[in-house]
Amino acid sequence: MIAADPLPLLHTARLLMRPMEASDAEQVVRWRNAPHVREMCTCHERALTVERHLDWFIRTRMLRIDYILVLRASNRPIGSVSLSLAEDAATSGCSAQSGRYIGEPDCLGQGYGHESAVRWLDFGFFDLGLDSIFSHTRRDNFANIRLNHRLGYSRFCDLTRRTTAPDGEEWIDMCLYRDDWRRIRGRV
């Protein structure tokens, strides 16, 4: 398991980040079925249902943490971030795959992705003690690739992963190590 319950609330200047709950299922399914989210993920070929989401949600809690992003000013949920535990053969340490999306189209391009990612990386490295965090990103997801570069991710991980999905889409892995994040955040 990545972290013990209860998981903490996380805060940024404009966002409250709270653990995802089963009661978030309808909202999460709506976001994940939205064209701008669905076209950039590997999570499902057909439309996701609440039942499939809940089954997945229950099965993955021991190796995964999902949070909901909420606008503090209006208490409006707008997206999600996640960490999925993985074994990093390169460092023999603890690694996790990070995921994120802004599900509400009118909230895209307003910096919420960057703001939440910085806090999420702090949580992963400083609170959970992860050694590395990686991102498995579609090669044409330029917004996510730019954001990852701004955060300090390297273009390619040392992790051995498939770069072409069964549907022919190409993916790249980007990685960030705790020592690099400490330097970036001035916590050496």
Measured between alpha carbons, how far is 142 from 132 in angstroms, rounded to an integer?
A: 22
Pairing of strands 93-102, 132-138: parallel
pLDDT in tens, 87-140: 554 545 689 999 999 999 999 999 999 999 999 999 999 999 999 999 988 888
The pLDDT tens digits of the residues spanning 11-21 come to: 999 999 999 99
**What confidence tens digit (pLDDT) does each residue in 148-179 have?**
999 999 866 544 444 555 555 688 889 999 99
Residue type, 123: F
What's the predicted TM-score (pTM) here?
Answer: 0.86
Task: Tell me which residue of 153, 166, 152, 30 sits closest to 103, measured CA to CA.
Answer: 30
